[in-house]
Structure 1
């Protein structure tokens, strides 16, 4: 069955000066349709063009059209729109992506006309909005004048992406390729961030992610995961690899199981061809995809979003650089909220630790003047940089500050600690800032699977003050006596702070932790103290009673020996009570030798590191 196309637009009959006109955006801007309006704009002025992110040639935002158009964007993108906003010729309207459609329905931004880019009609007369359903569908449903660009390059996408040809007031036929945005090359910094983020993703999780180096790196490191699902406002080329490798099958999704759910796609021709007539990928309006309660229907929902800066309380700046508005709120808050109320969900903010060639820290003691908070300190569970994972949920301001300083660039950590000390966010006795163990490599977190349970080995750090207290008070009197050679009664905050505030460039302190959501429990600690007078070090370790016999102490000791060897330390010493046979056995299995001692209650052991390469 064939359907007659609507007539070509007679613009002076469809709109007038001062009209508010919505323009479809992202990678599917109807450029030929906008140009047709420009070509027939004589007598028009002050037309408000409303749109989301608009990629490609945003010619309408140029200075030459300032009398014809006034741009009002929900997301700043592209040099022309950004320049127009910076110069005051265009407006930026901050709004959650999930709520933009309500601006059209309640008359806050009543639309006089809508310009959309659609596929040709099928045999039933339905055109598809293709790669950009997002707020475009909402605009179509709440406008009386719909003007379409019929474009054979627009893919036909499944879901709620269809508009019948009879609903269009007018149209033009013009084939234009969708804007292509190639996947950016992944640098070493993004690579490390991606590795850390991937560690937080459990098998069976449902993912939301954006575009850029960090999402691409994260998806790269998820290829060995199982039964992942996708519920994301945006799709990129990286998704294809994740589906093709079998990591994404949507089998464990608890909302729209078996389907990838999204609202728009930005990528290359490869992606646009992939979504074309693909019944496994469904596109819905942003008001549906980004609705927090819908997002939360996915168990183990993991939301991965970025930021421009994060302050030491966990406040996230994502749309502005000081007084300069840079992008938009988008769907970050929608997905952070949805993931936070999802069963087993994890909202993650991932960002590089620095900007401007490492001259500026993105982890800041306070938000830059003029910048605005997009995501509040109460929403964020994790902040990830190339230096690790900061766990913030349920943490005090003191604990948050130390967690975030730990994942800041090392050259800014002392400065950040000094700033928060001024405001008493950390106690007076917190004098040392977190340091890394270079010998562990770029990734300071190692995943361990012990008796089918997942643990992590990492450096002990000042953010562990309370965790070490809990670890100490979990010990029995016997464990304390064997470890300390007496029965200590207290582990004060000051003492705990001293034990976790380690200069890891000289001494070394490692721990094995279990992380369940934002709850982190220390199960074993191993350390050595360096003695520069004879280039030796003294090692010790302690394991939680219910974890003993699982080999944690052996792992810690092996890492400590490796670190000491790389530092060219001559020998490692250990002093153990004679009745602590399990600990003596662990040292001896690592080739430690007993030394003669006049005290029969103690055993002195030594490992000559130069003779044991």
Structure 2
């Protein structure tokens, strides 16, 4: 019986496998067979006009260098690396937009028939099976479809579980050559991405299944998931952050409804520690992108959370992810696959997370209209959440007007007024919508606070213009008695104009806080607290109202505590409230916070004052 080792060759006989004009596939991500590329360049100089097809290639990408333009023409599904990007910009390379889940079909149905697939694999086991290791993604599909598989057998390639194996007998040629697997270090922390990570983590429930990419934002997200429980992974890629969550037991895949108990991915990219972690690890399974990225499969995971980034988002929710104006910059990749799958998942949440600005803060990534030449990757109908360092914009079920106000709220503050003015030109917001969203710096870098109350989770945040309809619903939920006690009279209604006025607050002067329940993309206002500034007296008047079924649970105390803290930080001298004398519960709340009764000539009202300590 012929030994497995004896089937290795010392060199590839290129003319016997390919000819001028052939189309070759190059292995993806951290599995680029650089030795085979070097051999092709040096040993097959008479073979020209080769089309090199690939996705992301973590390599020097020397085949894309100008000196080889008459030998190689690149056709890439994802622009990555300086050499490839420059080749695309100069017209020496083509970019083919395609969902990652559908790339394999271009090979199988011979839209792009492959003459050869140049891949890198692990050494064969005693039965002759080699593993594609760290990159199965579209490599398996390319290998199955190509006329010839030319393999670089790398002793340093991990053996990974799942649908990752090819038998050595399937190779037309194979050469053993050791090559270090390229590493991708964990991104450096920044205050911006750390805040984004905190906000995204708030959207992840215990028992959710996640899709994460690589870079500063995904790395930051994983750092804020360490207190979560029973998370799962179904992701086109995994990195060191996922490995650490698995090692700590945060990711155990116990609650997954598709491939329970297993982390499912198509490739991994990270440090040497990650590659050692996936080697012979039965808990991590690698499958082709056509399987992992198939939206119907993604949707089989309940509470599927997809986390992707963007170059810019317009105020209707359209996502630009592969181009900067007319310049193609990256690719569609798996974003649409996972956004679509997560949106169809029971309890799923498609999230776009990005810094609010680019070019050192000079350009807003939240834009009134897309840059000329830019293309939509993910449509406005797909995205449920957009997250920046300034908060979470909830878009599902929102009108164009509400979406615009939500997105302006998470734009950088210095661009908010201009964004509101710009969309007013297109009648996206009515004339009475005057105030653009403002933050409350005293709430800290993260403007949303998780508030556990009686075993339930609520969130405290600033009231903002996008809450107009939610505040109407809140008002009409009250009994007449609640309205009378809160407003000292019975309002006849809550028009859109009046509601808009109440949620359009300059939070640098007055303050309006709300406690909300979040059910998926639905926000329900449960309580509102306000203070109105009287600058001539360096004082503010305080009031609050709570939905009837939550009265007595402490929401008013939480709101008042935060308002006292804000007023103190702003150096106000006193806070006062005027309360109906029969409103005993509200009076009790104020008195618990050291508000003292003072004389009021109206016997039907109680006036209470608290003097604040000087902030120094």
Indicate the TM-score class for this superposition, using the shorter chain for normalisation: over 0.9
- The answer as to whether partners of 2:253 and 2:262 remain within 8 angstroms in 1 is yes
Structure 1 position 252 matched with structure 2 position 260: no
Q: Distance in 2 between matches of 1:475 and 1:55?
A: 59
CA distance in 1, matches of 2:40, 2:553: 72
SS in 2 for 1:140: helix
Partner of residue 439, structure 1: 442
Q: Distance in 1 between matches of 2:255 and 2:532?
A: 48
Deviation at 1:144, TM superposition (A): 2.1
* Correspondence for 1:33: 36
- Residue 499 of structure 1 pairs with residue 502 of structure 2: yes
Q: CA deviation at 1:611?
A: 7.6
CA-CA distance at 1:13 after TM superposition: 1.0
Q: What residue in structure 1 maps to residue 369 of structure 2?
A: 366
TM-score by length of 1: 0.99
1:424 is displaced (CA, Å) by: 0.4
Confirm or deny: 8 A CA contact 1:234 1:262 kept in the other structure.
yes
Unpaired runs of at least 5, structure 1: none
The answer to whether the 8 Å contact 1:6/1:166 transfers is no
Q: String of CA shifts for 1:282-323, please: whole Å, max 9, x gaps.
A: 000000000000001110000000000000000000000111
How many Å separate the matches in 2 of 1:341 and 1:607?
52
1:233–1:289 contact (8 Å) kept in structure 2: yes
Question: Match for 1:316 among 299, 319, 326?
Answer: 319
Could you say which residue in structure 2 is the equivalent of 1:147?
150
1:158 paired with 2:194, answer no
Q: 1:324-346, CA deviations, whole angstroms, 9 ceiling, x for partnerless residues?
A: 11110000000000000001000
For residues 431-451 of structure 1, the C-alpha deviation after alignment (integer angstroms, 9 at most, x for no partner) is: 110000011110000001111
Task: Give the Å deviation of 1:6.
Answer: 4.7
Match of 2:355, SS? coil
Alignment pair present for 1:479 and 2:495:
no
Counterpart selection for 2:224 from 221, 232, 236: 221
The equivalent of 1:66 in structure 2 is: 69
Q: Residue 480 of structure 1: CA displacement?
A: 0.5
Number of positions where the alignment pairs a residue of Structure 1 with one of Structure 2: 613
Aligned to 1:401: 404
Residue 382 of structure 2 is matched in structure 1 by 379
Post-superposition CA distance 1:471-513 (Å, at most 9, x none)? 0000000000001111112101110011000010011110000
Find the counterpart in structure 2 of residue 277 from structure 1.
280
2:492 and 2:557 map into 1 onto residues whose CA distance is 28
Post-superposition Cα deviations, 1:202-257, rounded to whole Å, max 9, x if no partner, equal 00000001000110000000000000000000011111211122210000000000
> Is the CA contact 2:233–2:251 (under 8 Å) kept in the aligned structure 1?
yes
Alpha-carbon distance in structure 2 between the residues aligned to 1:279 and 1:28: 20
Length-normalised TM-score, structure 2: 0.99
- Give the equivalent residue in structure 1 for 2:7: 5
**Structure 1 CA distance for aligned equivalents of residues 189 and 399 of structure 2:** 35
* Aligned mates of 2:569, 2:157 — CA distance in 1: 58
2:524 paired residue among 521, 526, 530:
521
Q: Deviations over 1:52-73 (max 9, x none)?
A: 1011210000000001100000
- 3-state SS in 2 of match to 1:533: helix
1:122 corresponding residue in structure 2:
125
Distance 1:319 1:273 in 2: 32
Aligned to 1:585: 588
Deviation track 1:503-526 (CA, whole Å, cap 9, x = no partner) reads 100111100000000000000000
Flag structure 2 segments of 5+ consecutive residues without an equivalent: none
What is the aligned partner in structure 2 of residue 607 from structure 1? 610
Q: What residue in structure 1 maps to residue 103 of structure 2?
A: 100
Structure-2 separation of matches of 1:165 and 1:566: 70
Other-structure match for 2:305: 302
- For residues 515 and 106 of structure 1, the distance between their equivalents in structure 2, rounded to whole angstroms, comes to 45
Using the alignment, how far apart are the partners of 1:428 and 1:534 within structure 2?
A: 32
Deviation (angstroms), 1:610: 2.3
2:360 is aligned, of 357, 371, 377, to 357
Q: What is the distance in 2 between the residues matched to 1:585 and 1:239?
A: 49
Deviation at 1:42, TM superposition (A): 2.3
Greater mean deviation of Cα atoms: 238-247 or 451-460: 238-247
Alignment partner of 1:526: what SS?
strand
- 2:46 counterpart of 1:20: no
Local SS of the residue matching 2:75: strand
How many Å separate the matches in 1 of 2:59 and 2:455? 50
Judge conservation of contact 2:571–2:614 (CA < 8 Å) in 1: no
How far apart, CA to CA, are the structure 2 residues paired with 1:132 and 1:61?
21
Matched, 1:212 2:215: yes
The answer to whether the Cα contact below 8 Å between 2:465 and 2:500 also exists between their aligned partners in 1 is: yes
Conserved? CA contact 1:6–1:169, under 8 Å? no
